[in-house]
Amino acid sequence: MSPIAPARRLRPHLPRRMFSQVLLMQLAIAAGVAVLATGLFLAPLSAQLDDQAMRRALAIAQTTAAQPQIAEDLRSTRPTAGGPVQREAERIRRASGAEYVVVMNMDGVRWSHTDRTQIGKVVSTDPSRALAGRDVMEIDSGTLGRSARGKVPLRDSAGTVVGAVSVGIEYDSVRARLIHAIPGLFAYAGGALAVGALAAYLISRRVQRQTRDLAFSDISALLAEREAMLHGIREGVVALDRGGRVRLLNDEAQRLLGLGTEAIGRPLDDALGPGRTTDVLAGRVTGTDLLTVRGQRVLLANRMPTDDGGAVATLRDRTELEQLGRELDSTRGLIDALRAQDHEHANRMHTLLGLLELEMYDDAVEFVGEVVGDHRATAEQVTEKIHDPLLAALLVGKATVAAERGVALWIADGTLLPDRLIDPRGLVTVVGNLVDNALDAVAGTPHARVEVELRAEGRTAVLRIRDTGPGVPADRRELVFTEGWSTKEPPAHGKRGIGLAMVRRLAERQGGSARVTEAAGGGAEFAVVLPEALAADIDKSTGTVDTTGTADTKGIADTGEKS
């Protein structure tokens, strides 16, 4: 036999829907407020009715005691059922509607009473305060039951207290008035409760629409999952409200944009500053998979508006992908160049073989010298003027690619750049982008030529790239440095429009500038100035620092030879 499972206790469960929970809470609050208001109203109402009854009894007692004949009859007659005091007291009782009107002497003996058998007997309640000359109001019990009482002293014509008058109002009549008022009060309370229930229903329906009828536990779970997801994914998320203020930044967005949590709550323009990244996130630049540059990072941004007028933007880091793409483009260009050189080399070898077979040995030697001499002259021209090995290697490769594309790549006569670059990779990026841009601009044009000039002015590096292409119109000379803007077809690995933007960004990051003007004779001239791009030169003969860039020229040349 399987063991008997323990019985589970049944517990009442509240409804899980947000609408039901809010409605029940609102109804409970409305009902509680109605009950509380009713109780708060009834408590003072009961006290007010008691006070009114006691004051009415006191007024009747005072009116009775104000008649001097009663005091005279009290002193001159005996307490009998047919005496003048009893007759006057009964007349007043019937006229006022009081429960009783009792006249007593200083010993508390009754001279009048509703029950005639009580005449001549001592009163059942303490009359000492009234006999002492004070007015008394109270709720008390006597021979006729519980009543609201008023007691006053009875004075003769000389003002001497000779007795007291006690008047009672039946307490049941006071309670009847209170009970009679309760139905009307409950009617008002019910009306207020109905209005509160209607308001609770409308509020609950609004909350239901805004929360999509989720339960509180579901909302709490969604919030926890949202926080875990936002801070766990490797994609930047930026949420903005309808006023353009930053509402949320996950960890990846803070890293990509270089912001901290202090940016939350601030307008986007203040947090990021002016630029394309701000325009993309703010929705001033529309589209999908928009490229933008933030610092040294290339970002891919998408923006989605939300129902409340805000927006959520996502950011992906494409820096490494762009670098790989550029390396792929360079590799493809190099492969094409090598393939072309292979064909050219085969043609030259066939020519040389033909000269040898024809026994034209002198012509063969001259042909080989020309071929080898042309190649050596190009490499020597670069290394004599560009002493940084990375930059020199880049320009030698670009010269080969340019030759295969039918473009002449020249190193300007004024070029001289020592091997003291602080950030050679950054300058390689700048030169590579500008040369590629110039080669694309002059491709297919007659007498295509690109001229590169690199020189050092103290510790400042100055770069000029001139081409014989169509040039850049004056109204587009600033636009070409904008991320995402390009006149060329995008490559296979992604989008264009970031090369020149990266050039300007790298220049400005070093405190320099990048601009484009019209070259002499037509075409475009790109000029980049990079302050503090070269390390200070140390004069080997004196051991001093030379910031002019002219010390130890022979040593610089030697360094270039070894490169």
CB atoms within 10 A of CB 63: 16
Per the domain annotation, does 109 fall within a domain? yes
Please list the residues that pair with 534 across neighbouring strands. Answer: 421
User: Does the pLDDT of residue 7 top 50, yes or no?
Assistant: no
Q: Which domain holds residue 157?
A: 21-177
**CA atoms of 530 and 391, how far apart (whole Å):** 15
pLDDT at site 211? 66
Domain final residue pick, 297, 317, 337:
317
CA neighbor of 464 nearest in space, from 495, 509, 503: 503
Residue 164 near residue 70 (C-beta atoms within 8 A): no
Mean pLDDT, the chain, as a whole number?
77
DSSP H helical ranges for 273-423: 276-282, 319-357, 361-385, 389-404
pLDDT at site 452? 93
Per the domain annotation, does 333 fall within a domain? no
Domain final residue pick, 162, 177, 192:
177
Residue 468 near residue 521 (C-beta atoms within 8 A): yes
Query: What band does 337 get if pLDDT is binned at 50, 70 and 90?
Result: low
Query: What band does 112 get if pLDDT is binned at 50, 70 and 90?
Result: very high
In tens, the pLDDT along 237-287 reads: 889 998 889 988 888 888 888 888 888 888 888 888 887 788 888 888 888
**CA atoms of 462 and 533, how far apart (whole Å):** 9
User: Does the pLDDT of residue 467 top 70, yes or no?
Assistant: yes
User: Does the pLDDT of residue 324 top 50, yes or no?
Assistant: yes
- Residue found by looking up tokens 């020249």 in the block: 410
Residues 103 and 247 reside in one and the same domain: no
| SS3 of residue 512 by DSSP | coil
Per the domain annotation, does 187 fall within a domain? no
pLDDT at site 451? 92
Tokens for 241, please give them: 């409200």
Per the domain annotation, does 337 fall within a domain? no
**CA atoms of 364 and 369, how far apart (whole Å):** 9
**CA atoms of 147 and 253, how far apart (whole Å):** 81
User: Does the pLDDT of residue 165 top 90, yes or no?
Assistant: yes
In tens, the pLDDT along 43-56 reads: 666 677 778 888 88
Query: What band does 212 get if pLDDT is binned at 50, 70 and 90?
Result: low
Order the strands of the 145-155 sheet from edge to edge.
100-105, 161-170, 145-155, 136-142
In tens, the pLDDT along 78-101 reads: 888 888 999 999 999 888 888 889
In tens, the pLDDT along 29-42 reads: 777 776 776 666 66
Residues 311 and 404 reside in one and the same domain: no
pLDDT at site 259? 86
In tens, the pLDDT along 359-412 reads: 888 888 777 766 655 544 467 778 888 888 888 888 888 887 887 777 888 888
Residues 173 and 237 reside in one and the same domain: no
> Considering its fold, how many domains does the chain have in total?
3
pTM for the whole structure: 0.41
Per the domain annotation, does 403 fall within a domain? yes
Where are the strands (E) in 196-310, listed by range?
A: 236-240, 246-249, 290-294, 297-305
Residues 434 and 499 reside in one and the same domain: yes
User: Does the pLDDT of residue 440 top 50, yes or no?
Assistant: yes
CA distances from 337 to 343, 406, 441, 449, 519 (A): 10, 11, 19, 18, 28
Q: In percent, how much of the chain has pLDDT > 70?
A: 72
Per the domain annotation, does 226 fall within a domain? no
Per the domain annotation, does 192 fall within a domain? no
Residues 167 and 290 reside in one and the same domain: no
Tokens for 433, please give them: 């982008």
**CA atoms of 203 and 51, how far apart (whole Å):** 43
